[in-house]
Structure 1
C-alpha cells in the first residue's frame, strides 16, 4: 500500500511540467482496444469526456463516443469518434476530430497469461486548417492532425499486469495547416504550415489493484512514447524545414480508477501528467494535465 501511495504522490505532484497529450494523437488511448467486457456481453458503448490544459493557457474539452462489437472469444471490433473544443487567446474553436476503426484478436489464454494483437486506422474529419475570423490557427487549436494513420499493437496480460506496445504510422498526409508564427504576433506556437508528422512508438506497463469486493479497480500506468524523427513544415520561402527537437522520448504517468455498478455498468476516472518531455511539440499535443471521465455500458 505504501508503494501505491508513493506512486500517487508522484503522479499528482509533477503536473506543472509538459508532455505530449495522449488523447489527441490516438496511440495512448488505443489500449482500450485490448480490453474486453464480460464474455457474456457482445456489445459495449463508451461515452467519455476529457479536460486538459495545454501551452499558452489553452484549455481543451474533448468528448468521444465508442462502440465495441465482440464477435466471439477471439475477435472484437471498436469504432470511435472524437470531438474537440480548444479555448485560448486566439478564441474558441469546436470541431469533430477523428474516427477510429480498430480490430483486436485475442490468442488462447495459457497459465494466467494471454497475448492479443491489434490493427486499426484513424481517419480525420478536418485537414487541420481550422480558422477563427479568417486567421490561421496553430495545431494547438486544431481538432485533428489531418492524417490517416495506421495502428499496429500487441498486448501481454499476466495476472494483474498488462504490457502493450504499439506503432502509430501516418500513411496519408491530408494536413493543410497554414499557420506561420511570423505573421501571428506571438512566439507561443511554432510555424506548422503544411505540417508533416513522423510516426510514434509506445510501450506501456499497467498494474490492476482490486478491492476485496471487486467493485473498484485502481490501475497505475507508465507510458513511454518515442517520436521517430523530426517533424517538418514548409517555411515562408516554400522550402521544407525540419523542426529541431521535435523527435525523442516522452514519459507519462496515468492513474485510472474504475467503479463497477454491476457487470454491465461502470464509470472510470483517469488523470495523467508527464515525467519526461520532448524539446518541442509542434503537433499541438502539449498537455500539463489531463483529467477524464468515462461511462461504459455492456449488453
Structure 2
C-alpha cells in the first residue's frame, strides 16, 4: 500500500509541475467544481455545520484570451443526512482588444447522504446573464460571455470504496441563451471572424465521472490526484445566415482531464487549496468558450 501511495504522489506531483505550463482544466459547464462533486479532502473530527469559501482563478483560454475571476460559496449541513450548497461565480475575459467582466452563475444544490459511502446531489445552475454581450453594437462570441446563459439541471451520485472516491453526474440545459454572434458580421480583417458562430446557440448536456484518491503527505498537507472524463452528449447547434440551423461538427465527445488538489490545513477550521489540471483528450470543437490551455485555482475555506 505504501508503494502504491508513493506512486500516486509521484504521478500527481509530475502532473502538477506539467500543468503549471501546459494544463487545460475542467472545460465543462461548471458542475465539476461544485462542492459535492469535488474530492472530499477533510479529515477533521470536529463537527461544524457551516463553511464559507472564497476562491480565485486565472487561466489562458482559446483565441489568445485571458480569463480570471473570483467566486463565493456557502455550504450548510442541516443534519447527518441533508446539506445545501450555494455558489456565486464571476469572470473577466480579455484579449484581441476586448475586455469583459460580469457575474456568471449561481449554483444551488441539495445533498442527501444515504450512508457513509453513498451520497446524492440534486441542483441547478442559474444564469446571471443570457450571453448577449456586444462590442461596438456587434454580438460577441461565447468566448467573451460571462455565462453560458442556460438554466441547467444537475444530478450526481458519489460513492466511496475504501479511500477511492467516485462521482458520476449529469448537467442538462433546460433553456438556451440569447447569443447572436455570426462571425461573418465582423470585418474581413477582424480576429473574431475566425471564431465559431453561435447565433441561437443550442448547447447539449454533459456527463462526468470523477475518480479521486486522497493522499496524506504530512499531518497538514494532503495531495489528491483526480481523473476527470467529461462527455458532451451530442453536437451543439447554431443558426447561420438565412435562418439555417447547423450542427457544430466535433463538439460532441470526450474531454479527459487529470486534476491535482493540494490542501494545506491552516487550523482545525480553515484550509487553503490549490487546484490545477492537465488535459489528455479534448473535443475537436469547443464553441462554448470554456476551454483553458492553462488554469490554476486558489481557494480559502473556513468552517464554523
> What is the TM-score normalised by the length of structure 1?
0.92
Among residues 31, 37, 41, which one is paired with 1:27 in the alignment? 31
Aligned-partner Cα distance in 1 for 2:204–2:225: 28
1:44 match: secondary structure: strand
Partner residue in 2 for 1:285: 290
Per the alignment, residue 176 of structure 1 pairs with: 178
Change (3 A) 1:264 1:188: farther
Q: Tell me the distance in 2 between the aligned counterparts of 1:12 and 1:165.
A: 27
Distance 2:298 2:21 in 1: 21
Deviation of 1:3 (Å) = 4.4
* Matching of residue 76 in structure 1 with residue 76 in structure 2: no
Partner of 1:259: 264
Matched, 1:270 2:271: no
For residues 60 and 163 of structure 1, what CA distance do their matches in structure 2 show? 29
Coordinate RMSD, CA, aligned? 2.0
Instruction: Report the Cα distance in structure 2 between the residues aligned to 1:223 and 1:280, rounded to whole angstroms.
Output: 19
Compared CA separation, residues 150 and 197, structure 1 to 2 (3 A)? same
Out of 5-14 and 53-62, give the one that drifted further: 5-14
Q: Who is 2:303 aligned against?
A: 298
| 2:3 matched residue in structure 1 | none
Contact kept in structure 2, 1:33 and 1:103, CA below 8 Å:
no
Measured in 2, the distance between the counterparts of 1:56 and 1:122 equals: 26
Alpha-carbon offset, residue 212 of structure 1:
4.0
Cα distance in structure 2, aligned partners of 1:62 and 1:128: 17
Structure 2 counterparts to residues 28-47 of structure 1, below 5 A: 28-32=32-36, 35=40, 40-47=47-54
Cα drift, residue 15 of structure 1: 7.0
Q: 2:103, 2:28 → 1: CA distance?
A: 12
| 1:104-253 equivalent positions in 2, closer than 5 A | 104-109=111-116, 114-173=117-176, 175-184=177-186, 185-186=190-191, 187-213=193-219, 215-253=220-258
* Contact map agreement 2:66 2:94 (CA 8 A) in 1: yes
Structure 1 residues not aligned, in runs of 5+? none
- The answer on whether the counterparts of 2:31 and 2:37 sit within 8 Å (CA) in structure 1 is no
Contact 1:15/1:288, CA 8 A, preserved across alignment? no
Shift of 1:36: 8.8
Change (3 A) 1:15 1:104: same
The CA deviation at 1:142 is 0.6
Unaligned runs of 5+ in 2: 1-5
In 2, Cα distance between the equivalents of 1:225 and 1:82? 21
Cα distance per residue 1:40-83 (max 9 Å; x no partner):
21110000011111011101012100101110111100011101
Instruction: Name whichever of 183-192 and 22-31 sits farther off.
Output: 22-31
Please give the TM-score of this superposition, normalised by the length of structure 2: 0.90
**Deviation of residue 31 (structure 1)?**
4.8
Whether 1:60 and 2:67 are equivalent positions in the alignment is yes
The 1-side partners of 2:236 and 2:23 are apart by 18
CA deviation after TM superposition for structure 1 residue 26, in Å: 1.1
